[in-house]
Amino acid sequence: MWRAALLGAVLLQAGAAAAQQAAPAPPLAASSQTLVLWFLLATLALVVTVFVLVVSLIVIKMQPLLRQLYARPTVHNTWSGKVLGLFVGDNRLVTGENRDELMGHEYDGIAEYDNDLPPWWKYSFVGTVIFAIGYFGYYQVAKAGPNSHDEYETEMRQATLLVSADADDPNKLTTYTALGTPADLSAGKGIFVTNCAPCHGPNAEGKVGPNLTDEYWLHGGEINHVYKTIKFGVQGKGMVAWKGKLSGKQILQVASYVQSLQGSKPAGAKEPQGEKETIKPLAAK
């Protein structure tokens, strides 16, 4: 009895092992689809090759007939005749009518030739003009599609959704108050002289960068706008981002120092740039 039970257990274990071994392999759907794709591409390439060979053979066999047709005056100078000329060795449709024809102008051993612009170039130019007229009419006259400014605004709104709304969000303006203590302004001046003077001048009169002492601002003159410009920079305008190089307090100190220079009128000040924005000079505390 116990032998039968033992034999049954062994058979069950063997069956389980066989079932595991016979378990279906991972699906090969992806490999099959790849094979089918390559097969279709190879078939398409073969069909195209055969088609080109057949057409070439037909053209070669029909060349005498095509030459006779091409020689007719009613066909030779027509546009369709020029297309036909490509099959009999006349490349006027590609190279133009005149090639290396002397115009009778010669100076110092240099002769002037009369060469046509390639017809394909002329047709392409006409095509671009037609496209430009249609493009201008669609986007600028009919306003049927978004112009470049609208697309930029849309992309910026989409980008804003992908930026986290935290202290390092360049789209979120801070609400800081300018620092007015002598210690903060002195620290801000030291940072400015070390890092900002090469572009804005030792007195912020402006060099490569704009004048920071007048009422005109490219990116806003309020303390939080200045803070944002210093921290994140201005891409493509030469203003580097000082985030990671200066601490938040240091950025606020130098921004406060810049605001304290309003109306100082340094010698050799650069001409105004940007929009006028009256900023009240910062009074020291």
Strand partners, 217: 275
For 179-225, strand residue ranges (E) read 216-217
Which residue, 285, 76, 85, is CA-closest to 184? 285
How confident is the model over 256-278, as pLDDT tens digits? Answer: 999 999 888 999 999 999 898 87
Which residue, 202, 170, 208, 187, is CA-closest to 251? 187
Residue with the bigger pLDDT between 10 and 239: it is 239
For every residue of 126-154, DSSP letters joined together read HHHHHHHHHHHIIIIIS--S--HHHHHHH
Residue 23 above 70 pLDDT?
A: no
How confident is the model over 79-134, as pLDDT tens digits? Answer: 677 777 777 767 777 776 666 666 677 778 787 777 778 778 888 999 999 999 99
Q: How far apart are CA 92 and CA 83, in angstroms?
A: 9
Question: Does pTM surpass 0.85?
Answer: no
Residue with the bigger pLDDT between 237 and 129: it is 129
Residue with the bigger pLDDT between 268 and 75: it is 268
Q: How far apart are CA 98 and CA 82, in angstroms?
A: 14
What proportion of the chain, given as a percentage, has pLDDT over 90?
Answer: 35
Which residue, 214, 207, 190, is CA-closest to 262? 214
The mean pLDDT value of the chain amounts to 80
| Residues 6 or more apart whose Cβ sits within 8 Å of residue 234 | 218, 219
Per the CB < 8 A criterion, the answer to whether 254 and 185 are in contact is no
Q: How far apart are CA 281 and CA 241, in angstroms?
A: 25
Residue 1's pLDDT is 45
Residue 284 above 50 pLDDT?
A: no
Residue 226 above 90 pLDDT?
A: yes
Residue 171's pLDDT is 78
Q: What is the mean pLDDT of residues 63-87?
A: 74
Residue 281's pLDDT is 61
| Residues 6 or more apart whose Cβ sits within 8 Å of residue 40 | none
Residue with the bigger pLDDT between 188 and 102: it is 188
Residue 154's pLDDT is 83
Residue 253 above 90 pLDDT?
A: yes
Question: Using 50, 70 and 90 to split pLDDT, how confident is the model at 163?
Answer: low
Q: State how far the alpha carbon of 71 is from the alpha carbons of 35, 68, 76, 96, 224, in Å.
A: 51, 5, 6, 18, 80
Sign of CA dihedral 89, 95, 100, 101: positive
Residue 263 identity (one-letter amino acid) = G
Residue with the bigger pLDDT between 143 and 18: it is 143
